[in-house]
Structure 1
């Protein structure tokens, strides 16, 4: 018997998600936010990589290998598998549920599993979890199903016990791991189930008893970074593949008012450089890895440690390239030069806003001047720059939004994505609701200077009018997609051409919502950009149509905001 089968990510049915949000109304903020990031072709919704995958293999004799953002072995599987193995438990895994259903079916039919652990790293709804559980129960009704991870932990933190129990019943698992760091709770539960001893004394779990769910004593679980490094030898080179995500820290050294992570994750802790180099040495020995993504929100904090890491990586002269999130207020030209020498390919910069007052409202330590200094240096060094912003945070007006757009136009980063501000009740800004006149939550909010529908209007304006910096249509294409596609042979330049062609089709959809089909010239341009290995890469005939779209929509938005009470 195998002690634990770990289930990785379930990407879900995107077309079904679109239909669900569409049923809420095309003016609903959830739908409007998503609507900027997909196209409709042959009565089906496609994200950017989905349609690239579809067109790339048309009239192409290449062996099929799908393009998707999850084309790597998930870090949570390697981490949990290593953790359990070191404690004497056997494990197996399915990396991607959506792509490996046949493989999972075969495992369930031919292997005997004590438990099946379902991870929830980036889920925001219960549907992907329920789909996995339903699939498992149709084939195997003896294994104990355990669900844990960030999604479950957030529910524990935000809803009352009676509703939490109802949710657990609705999801349908046998056991739940309740804490954000639940590795020890999982190991304790496996031991109890394996030895058939009582589980009531195990901390941070919930289990079904009759029609009720019992919630055990909650206690903060802390697992040392140094003692729980991933053992990559437990996984095949084929499964590991070309890309690895790694983490070198826990928590966050900052306390931005839009983010609840520092409150939940505890004190910021980071690995010493020697430990990071040991892990990178392991990765180099695998022999297949070409790209690493440092998942840390603040990899370059403290700056002294990061500079030491850069020097060590330069000395090692690793064969892989890497990319990361980066804090511009903990930077200088020398550090950026070292990053380039250490094989960095690009950075994700969380600008959020270029307005000083909005940044103060966010409790951000970085300032507009930090980005004005750093972005040109990154570009001069040949590193790709992705800038992320928020639209609609308390204090936002049309003028503050324009300051952010003006910075993008001035600095011309390669890529950008404005995120519609999500009002999360577990973030510090929630405690300042009265100060900002904030009402509502999630994507249904308003405050003293803006409401969510006006924020949607602003994002549409950015989408339709910003030219030189390329909008990245996330979900479906994100910061890590850029480097994934680069290692699949698609240069940054060809990616920009593809994304512009994709965005042109979305623009047409936004301006002419009742148009039933994509204009032939836009469709042909998208097809050719998707088939990036073709020799005849040209973007035919889209400029006139899209320029007209931009002009018309921009004039409508400017007229609206000039007459708005929010134009301060």
Structure 2
């Protein structure tokens, strides 16, 4: 059974952790920690493994969340926090109450969270910005309505565009997750998603090949239709990311590798994007952090792993 009262869960014992060693690529050179304010998600995306936290959303009270944030900022001197909730923006009133509490307590720090494009509005985003939110990640997944419908996202390209417009307007940097190789989409549909990613202007775009995990509706369909390629039976969650495990009528392994390579080339190897990231560097540590990420991407792209 799930814990009925999330507020009864003690705060993590951060004193036992090497807090100075944790870093995040989009906050180069800064000490970070993570925070969980809720568990579960009421949505039913076909690819999501909900066997751990389930569909019922259980949230900590704003006061309890604020106490932990105050401990992080004042006791541990950490001023960069990643909120790892599946969906932090689900309840507008709760988000605003937490943001108001951050301001009232005089807590100065930056933070990132996960959101849905249909669960944000201008008022919420303004409060989030005032309270220190600098990054929000959206599961965009596809720029094609047929792909969104297949994934059961219950969103539209118009909603996605509007959410990114509002996020940019609020002064928060949006991030975006995209899925390539959706069975109902063609290679041309994948290219449209890549162009859609460029149109949205996210700070960072993560492109992934659709991958079914046991316990998901996608896994059941992939197995029943003969799309699924077996992986290590001892640990089906430990996968080689370079080897696609779902091959449908529209997507061969060669096409999947090609669309992923095109996504990284067209999105990241643009002069405007590269110049924007270079302008953000403020320290030697920042140069090292971003340089490591960039070198990893270049090495992947020009190696056989990215070009096969």
Class of the TM-score when normalised by the shorter of the 2 chains: 0.7 to 0.9
Structure 2 CA distance, aligned partners of 1:384 and 1:403? Answer: 23
The question of whether the paired residues in 2 share the 8 Å contact of 1:295 and 1:325 is answered with yes
Structure 1 CA distance, aligned partners of 2:300 and 2:40? Answer: 37
Structure 1 CA distance, aligned partners of 2:44 and 2:195? Answer: 27
Structure 1 CA distance, aligned partners of 2:250 and 2:283? Answer: 44
| 1:331 has 2:120 as partner | yes
Larger RCO (CA under 8 A, 6+ residues apart): 2
* TM-align CA RMSD: 3.3
- Aligned-partner SS, 2:198: helix
Q: Over residues 87-107 of structure 1, what are the superposed CA-to-partner deviations in whole Å (9 max), with x where a residue is unaligned?
A: xxxxxxxxxxxxxxxxxxxxx
- Return closer, same or farther for 1:380/1:437 CA change in 2, 3 Å cut-off: same
Structure 1 CA distance, aligned partners of 2:296 and 2:168? Answer: 24
| 1:235 has 2:34 as partner | no
Residue 421 of structure 1: CA displacement? 1.5
Determine the structure 1 residue equivalent to 2:258: 457
| 1:490 has 2:286 as partner | yes
The question of whether the paired residues in 1 share the 8 Å contact of 2:187 and 2:255 is answered with no
Task: Give 1:491-506 correspondences, 5 Å limit.
Answer: 499-500=293-294, 502-506=296-300
| 1:244 has 2:33 as partner | yes
Alignment counterpart, residue 79 of structure 2, candidates 265, 287, 290? 290
Residue 408 of structure 1: CA displacement? 1.4
Determine the structure 2 residue equivalent to 1:379: 168
Which sections of structure 1, spanning at least 5 residues, go unmatched? 1-219, 472-482, 514-552, 554-568
Q: Size of the alignment, in residue pairs?
A: 278
Alignment counterpart, residue 302 of structure 2, candidates 508, 511, 523? 508
- Return closer, same or farther for 1:287/1:501 CA change in 2, 3 Å cut-off: closer
Residue 495 of structure 1: CA displacement? 6.3
The question of whether the paired residues in 1 share the 8 Å contact of 2:222 and 2:246 is answered with no
- Return closer, same or farther for 1:225/1:447 CA change in 2, 3 Å cut-off: same
TM-score by length of 1: 0.44
Structure 1 CA distance, aligned partners of 2:81 and 2:306? Answer: 41
Which sections of structure 2, spanning at least 5 residues, go unmatched? 21-30, 232-243, 275-279
- Aligned-partner SS, 1:299: coil
Residue 229 of structure 1: CA displacement? 2.5
The question of whether the paired residues in 1 share the 8 Å contact of 2:175 and 2:204 is answered with yes
The question of whether the paired residues in 2 share the 8 Å contact of 1:470 and 1:500 is answered with no
Q: Over residues 2-43 of structure 1, what are the superposed CA-to-partner deviations in whole Å (9 max), with x where a residue is unaligned?
A: xxxxxxxxxxxxxxxxxxxxxxxxxxxxxxxxxxxxxxxxxx
Structure 1 CA distance, aligned partners of 2:266 and 2:206? Answer: 13
Task: Give 1:2-17 correspondences, 5 Å limit.
Answer: none
- Return closer, same or farther for 1:487/1:259 CA change in 2, 3 Å cut-off: farther
| 1:310 has 2:99 as partner | yes
Larger Rg: 1
- Return closer, same or farther for 1:504/1:440 CA change in 2, 3 Å cut-off: closer
- Return closer, same or farther for 1:458/1:488 CA change in 2, 3 Å cut-off: same
Task: Give 1:141-290 correspondences, 5 Å limit.
Answer: 220=1, 222=3, 224-230=5-11, 232=13, 235=15, 239-241=18-20, 242-261=31-50, 263-266=51-54, 267-290=56-79
